[in-house]
Chain A
């Protein structure tokens, strides 16, 4: 019977209290009437009946409550709409921000036992690089000599020209150790991934396709494995297709090819281009692995001092391959969304409190008619939960729409999808945020009803919500709204200033009016310099002859697209520290500087007369000249880089090669033909830049036709306008600022609503008091001052608290502020000004009402 009494508590209190004893008596009677095992049947039936009744009774009560909610929403549509909209904004903001942060920072990577996966880098902090790629020789030695790893695999990005039925296509490829897929613990969706045996040379090398290549090029043919595809002129056999979610090492990989090293690759320890992922042995920590590799690296530094001097090892969890900037940006976003959610909750709590006061009489009548306080409290809570659920549904929809917009905040360094897909986690987040909101603003009024009503006062005319107490509570809500709004405003202001600052940075070239396209010339077809020169000449001549084209040229890499391509500089007798002797090297065709409008400061551009058989020359950037020959004429000076000694023939302006916000190495530009045949394949010019005065879209067909005529098998890819490349530099900043501006806008609006509704409430509640004051001779000015003082006090308190928090918050995102001080006075002043303005706006109407109070009418209502 003890269990039975416990189970009775499943019933709604009213039903239990009214009929519980009778139900128990009835069970006793039935049990007494039954015999033997029949009693068990009686007991089971009784429990089943009880549970079923409890469920139905609760559903009925909720349905009844919901009907009341619907009725009351229809009676006060403005109130219901405000609640739904405010909830939707709060839930939408929080869900979107948390989903992106969860996707980037929390969710485990889609690999087997992902916590054991690490990335390995060479640590050359002495030269300014803590994360440097490995050379093939070093990679093989690390793999053979270390003992901390179950598996270690290397990979490098490359691209291949594929012949498809639809014509030549350029595909982004990843050349990977044949063991990579085992290291990650992933399997192909169709066929197989690469296996260790694929590392050996074969007549038809294997290729693994990405899901999207399988779909787009092979029309998702089920029998694709075993077929061949020609890549860079060589037949490859398709061995498998990866699942759609597999995005390693980056999102753009189309095919995976086995990485193979020739003996000369292994010998060249300076050729660092391999990235390495490894799986820690069970029980080995990252610190232990680092110590292990540092021992290996020290041995290699002794054996190959030229390339490996002062080189250690960096080991980072694969999950943590997120820059501090991305991380801070996401955390700032989450912080902002929490502020919005808090403001929404404060606002809603305030709205609900006001609503409960407005419903005093209704509540009193219902209590007088026998309604139970607990029932009323439940109803208030049902109302808040129902309205917040409606808002939550809209908020979740908002988040699903908003998340892709914020995709620029997802770093490309992680092997994860660009946009988190709406899933159960996201839905869970939305539900949590909704519940938090619903309970947040429903509990306080419900609790107060329960407390006041149970004391019995209400029946005798006492108020559930004392005017003064309610005012104080609502005042507190408004103060926190203003404070949170100030925090958001200050943060947004600082980020906005930082964005403006970054936008003002001169990239060193003029991206406007320049369109670019890539033709990656395949080897060995284009190993000879003469073959390439022929191709460039034909394409460039044809493009330059087009009406509207001002100039065109080829370069190894576009600035900001490729930040690497760094080569050591040899200059006997120089005083430049050894670690700084490196330059960003690009091979270009004549006209590159004119096309990009990189100013020619001294001397001349590279020219057609700079051939493989003439003197090797170089055009250097101003910073290069100033570094090596300060105060001297750089023209005619000699230095060595890219395997040859060169003479300086020209000086150009500096370009922000590594991006707007990063320091770049000094630049060296070399004539495209001045390289040995078959040498420096990585630097072969592939990016075409065209400056035109006509519309850029009209240039693309011309370029395509010119390339097709020069080599019908040569695909064209990466067509884009240069301004997009520069703007992409600011994409995450721009996105973040827009998101924060939206958040701050919402916050301001909510604070405005909060201030307005509180003051309106105060004025309404004190109409009699104001009437009396006016009857006693108070002027309208004095009444106005009464309201204004109140508003100013709230705003000032909120602003004061907000400023302190804002300063702390800004300090934590200092790294993102591009050098702007976290204590930027102008920004803080603007934020306070904005808070003042919304206070003013929020008090206009209540103040107006207060001044219009008719003393006689006000006192008559008493």
Chain B
């Protein structure tokens, strides 16, 4: 008889992250946020360059929950600030690990670009 062994992904196996996933991780890194807040946060951090559509956002969120990168949190803000339809998401320790790994990957890339003279040196 077959036995079922769900594959546990490692941080490395998920790299490189899709840009939307990375941005969502970054937006959820400092505080729990609901979907619309994530969109706004990402837009703000990128100076309006990255505007997540609702579809992209929720498709990403669903996959990220499945991969245990973020989780839905039961804690809600004060009721007057809350809308009951909203779901709030929090980054998981695994999500942090993955985000860190992605950041390191990008950093390494930038270093290589720099040695080729294709990226400005930091002072």
Residue of A nearest to B62 (CB): A15
Interface set, chain A 10-38, CB cutoff 8 A to B? 14-15, 18-19, 21-23, 25-27, 29
* B59 → chain A closest CB, angstroms: 5
Query: With an 8 A cutoff between CB atoms, is B104 at the interface?
Result: no
Q: Does A359 contact B (CB under 8 A)?
A: yes
A50 within 8 A of B: yes
| Docked-complex contact A49 and B58, CB < 8 angstroms | no
- Whether B1 pairs with A49 at a CB distance below 8 angstroms is no
Q: Tell whether A361 pairs with B1 under 8 Å between CB atoms, given A19-B35, A22-B86.
A: yes
Whether B36 lies near A26 (C-beta < 8 A) is yes
Q: How far is the CA of A21 from the CA of B56 in the complex (A)?
A: 15
CB contacts (< 8 Å) of B2 on chain A: these are 72, 75-76, 358-359, 361-362
Question: A369: which of B6, B54, B86 is its contact (CB, 8 Å)?
Answer: B6
B35 to chain A: which residues have CB within 8 Å?
19, 22, 26
Bound form: Cα–Cα A53–B52 in Å: 12
Q: Are A50 and B55 in contact (CB under 8 A)?
A: yes
Q: Which residue of B lies closest to A15 (CB)?
A: B62
**A571 shortest CB reach to chain B, Å:** 87
- Option from B6, B39, B55, B87 in Cβ contact (under 8 Å) with A52: B55
Is A366 on the interface with B (CB-CB < 8 A)?
yes
B85 contacts A by Cβ under 8 Å: yes
Q: Is B53's CB within 8 Å of the partner chain A?
A: yes
Chain B residues near A18 (CB, 8 Å)? 58, 62, 87
Selected from B4, B6, B54, B59, the residue in CB contact (under 8 A) with A57 is: B59
Q: Which residue of A lies closest to B85 (CB)?
A: A21
Q: Which residues of chain A are near B55, meaning CB under 8 Å?
A: 23, 49-50, 52-54
**Complex Cα distance A60/B35, Å?**
21
**CB distance B6 to A358 under 8 Å?**
no
Asked if A46 is an interface residue, CB under 8 A from chain B, the answer is: yes
Q: How far is the CB of A502 from chain B (nearest CB, A)?
A: 54
- State whether the Cβ of A284 lies closer than 8 Å to any Cβ in chain B: no
For residue B83, CB closer than 8 A to chain A, the reply is: yes
Given known contacts A15-B62, A19-B35, A25-B85, A49 and B4 CB-to-CB distance under 8 angstroms: no
Taking the complex as formed, is B122 at the interface, i.e. its CB lies under 8 A from any CB of chain A?
A: no
Check if B85 sits within 8 Å of A22, measured CB to CB.
Answer: yes
Which residues on B sit within 8 Å (CB–CB) of A857? none
Within the assembled complex, what's the spacing in Å between the Cα atoms of A15 and B65?
Answer: 12
Q: Please indicate which of the listed interface residues A23, A54, A60 has the most CB atoms of chain B within 10 Å of its own CB.
A: A23
Interface membership of B46, Cβ < 8 A? no
Nearest Cβ distance between residue B90 and chain A, in whole angstroms? 16
Identify the closest chain B residue to A71 (Cβ). B7
Q: What chain A residues lie within 8 Å of B63 (beta carbons)?
A: 60
A72 closest partner in B (C-beta): B2
**Docked CA distance A10–B104 (Å):** 38
Q: In the complex, A280 Cα to B93 Cα: how many Å?
A: 82
B6's nearest neighbour on chain A, judged by CB, is A369
Residues in chain A near residue B69, CB distance under 8 A: none
Q: Contact: A366 with B58, CB < 8 Å?
A: no
Q: Which residue of A lies closest to B86 (CB)?
A: A22
Write the nearest CB–CB distance from A294 to chain B, whole angstroms. 73
Distance A22 CA – B1 CA, assembled complex (angstroms): 42
Contact B36 A362 (CB under 8 A): no
Given A26-B36, A46-B54; A361-B3 close (CB under 8 Å)? yes
Q: 8 Å CB contacts to A: which residues of B47-90?
A: 53-56, 58-59, 61-63, 83, 85-87
Instruction: Give the CA-CA distance A91 to B87 in the complex, in Å.
Output: 49
Residues of B within 8 A of A49 (CB): 53-56
Q: Which A-chain residue is minimally distant from B52 (CB atoms)?
A: A49
C-alpha spacing A406/B61, complex, angstroms: 56
Smallest CB–CB gap between A299 and chain B, Å? Answer: 80
Q: Please state if B61 and A19 are interface contacts (CB–CB under 8 Å).
A: yes
Complex CA gap A570/B87 in Å reads 105
A36-71 vs B, Cβ < 8 Å mask (1 yes, 0 no): 000000000110011011101100100000000000
| Distance in Å: Cβ of B66 to nearest Cβ of chain A | 9
Q: What B residues does A580 contact at CB under 8 A?
A: none
Docked complex Cα distance between A46 and B58 (Å):
13
B residues 1-47 touching A (CB-CB < 8 Å): 1-4, 6, 34-36, 39
- From residue A356, how far is it (CB to closest CB) to chain B in Å? 11
A365 touches B4 (CB 8 A): yes
B-chain residues with CB within 8 Å of residue A21 when the two chains form the complex: 85
Contacts of B36 in A (CB 8 A): 22, 25-26, 29
Once the chains bind, are B56 and A22 in contact (CB under 8 Å)?
no
Which B residues touch A366, using CB under 8 A? 4
Residue of B nearest to A76 (CB): B2
Instruction: With a 10 A CB-CB cut-off, give which of B1, B6, B34, B59 has the most chain A CB atoms.
Output: B59
Q: Which residue among A26, A76, A365 has the maximum number of chain B CB atoms within 10 Å of its CB? A: A26
Kindly provide the distance from the CB of B61 to the nearest chain A CB, expressed in whole angstroms. Answer: 7
**Quick check: A53 and B59 within 8 Å, CB to CB?**
yes
Give every chain B residue within 8 A of A60 (Cβ-Cβ). 59, 63
In the complex, per-residue mask of A165-182: 1 if CB is within 8 Å of any chain B CB, else 0: 000000000000000000
Q: Which residues of B contact A75 (CB under 8 A)?
A: 2
Which residues of chain A in 339-369 are interfacial with respect to chain B, using CB atoms and an 8 Å cutoff? Answer: 358-359, 361-362, 365-366, 369
Contacts of A72 in B (CB 8 A): 2
Q: How far is the CB of B102 from chain A (nearest CB, A)?
A: 20
Contact partners of B39 in chain A: CB under 8 A: 26
- Minimum CB–CB distance for A49 against chain B, Å: 4
Q: What is the CB-to-nearest-CB distance from A450 to chain B, in angstroms, rounded to a whole number? A: 19
Complex contacts, B54 vs chain A, CB 8 Å: 22-23, 26-27, 46, 49-50, 53
Shortest Cβ distance from B57 into chain A, in angstroms? Answer: 8
User: Chain A nearest CB: distance from B64 CB in Å?
Assistant: 12
Distance of A802 Cα from B7 Cα, bound (Å): 48
Instruction: List, in ascending order, chain B residues with CB within 8 A of A29's CB.
Output: 36
Q: Evaluate contact between B58 and A15: CB separation under 8 angstroms.
A: yes
Task: Report Cα–Cα, A72/B4, bound state, in Å.
Answer: 10
Contact B4 A15 (CB under 8 A): no
A75, closest chain B residue (CB) = B2
Given contacts A22-B86, A49-B53, contact A361 B58 (CB under 8 A): no
Bound-complex Cα distance A366 to B58 (A):
23
- Complex Cα distance A700/B58, Å? 80
Interface residue from A19, A52, A359, A362 paired with B58 (Cβ < 8 Å): A19
CB distance from B33 to the nearest CB of A (A): 12
Measured between beta carbons, the chain B residues less than 8 angstroms from A358 are 1-2
Nearest residue (CB) in B for A25 is B85
* B residues in contact with A362, CB < 8 Å: 2-4
How many angstroms from the CA of A53 to the CA of B59 in the assembled complex? Answer: 7
Of B4, B62, B87, the residue contacting A14 (CB under 8 A) is B62
- Binary contact track A264-301/B, C-beta < 8 Å → 1, others 0: 00000000000000000000000000000000000000
Chain A, residue nearest B63 (CB) = A60
A159 to B114, CA, bound (A): 84
Shortest A766–chain B CB gap in Å is 16
Contact: A53 with B56, CB < 8 Å?
A: yes
Measured between beta carbons, the chain B residues less than 8 angstroms from A56 are 59
How near does chain B come to A137, taking the closest CB pair, in angstroms?
Answer: 80
CA distance A490 to B107 in the complex (A): 75
Contacts of A369 on B, CB cut-off 8 Å?
Answer: 6
Within 8 A of B (CB), among A577-593: none
Residues of A with C-beta under 8 A to B56? 49, 53
Residue of B nearest to A764 (CB): B1
User: What residues of B have a CB within 8 angstroms of the CB of A14 in the complex?
Assistant: 62
Since A358-B1, A361-B3, A361-B4 are in contact, a sample of 20 more A-B pairs with Cβ atoms closer than 8 Å, ordered by chain A residue number, is A18-B62, A18-B87, A19-B58, A19-B62, A22-B58, A22-B87, A23-B58, A25-B86, A26-B35, A26-B39, A45-B53, A46-B54, A50-B55, A52-B55, A53-B53, A56-B59, A76-B2, A358-B2, A362-B2, A369-B6
Could you show 14 A-B contacts with beta carbons less than 8 Å apart?
A: A15-B62, A18-B58, A22-B36, A22-B58, A22-B86, A26-B35, A50-B55, A52-B55, A53-B55, A56-B59, A60-B63, A361-B1, A361-B3, A361-B4
4 interchain residue pairs of minimum CB distance: A53-B55, A19-B58, A362-B4, A49-B53
B residues lining the A interface (CB < 8 Å): 1-4, 6, 34-36, 39, 53-56, 58-59, 61-63, 83, 85-87
